[in-house]
Amino acid sequence: MNDQQLLTYSRHILLPQIDIDGQQVFINSTALVIGCGGLGSPAAMYLAASGVGHLILADCDTVELSNLQRQIAHSHSDLGQGKAESAAATAKAINPSARVTAMAVNLSGTALQEAIDQADVVLDCSDNLTTRLEVNKLCYQQKTALVCGAAIAGEGQLLVVDPNNNSACYRCLYDETANVNLNCATSGVIAPLVGVIGAMQALEALKVLLGTATAGKLSIYDAWRTSWQALNLLKQPGCPVCGSDS
């Protein structure tokens, strides 16, 4: 690190859990953020501010007026622009020394696999079950740690999946038949809730990079009661992703 970086990250370096070595790990790391909306916005911004050296931001949508209530990486001047490009510009403004790659595509199949191959940690900030299940499956196959987040109405969820520690995965929680395809457009969401969960995803991603994250624990946040509930997620023996027969 140069003198400017030492000053920028001085508050991290003061922490014994990070120190200079941990900060250098952040600088040398790549994080893939899938979805640049309510969750992906704060996640990408905090990862950039924390010094993660390479951010890959993927989203095929464009910025709409209704997004601005909660998707804080975007502003009125970004209306009509791709969310990946808008979020990348915001991240780059926060940390000009970071390498930021914008992918204005709906990642799936080979493209998703190749993006995961580049990453040390993946943050699933998407808003649909199909994407979440595919990301979970490929991350487990490729032994890449995954931080899952979700938020709707007044409830948020957070889960770290670490294939290297043989943790339970997202498929153990929801399968293809689960009726969880709710969205903010139909159910609504209190704006700061996505900030809470997205910021927590960034925090857990940094802990993954440091090797201190706790995988396989489902955290549920009730915004109206300001309460957290933590549940140990057990591996499902018949899970086609992480089960004993997979």
Active-site residues: which are they? 184
Entry field: residues in the chain: 246
Max Cα distance, the chain (Å): 53
> Are the CB atoms for 21 and 14 separated by under 8 Å?
no
d(CA 89, CA 185): 26
d(CA 163, CA 199): 23
150 phi and psi, to 5 degrees?
-155, 150
> Are the CB atoms for 139 and 122 separated by under 8 Å?
yes
Token representation of residue 92: 């780059």
Strand partners, 57: 33, 102
Count of Cβ atoms closer than 10 Å to residue 109 Cβ: 9
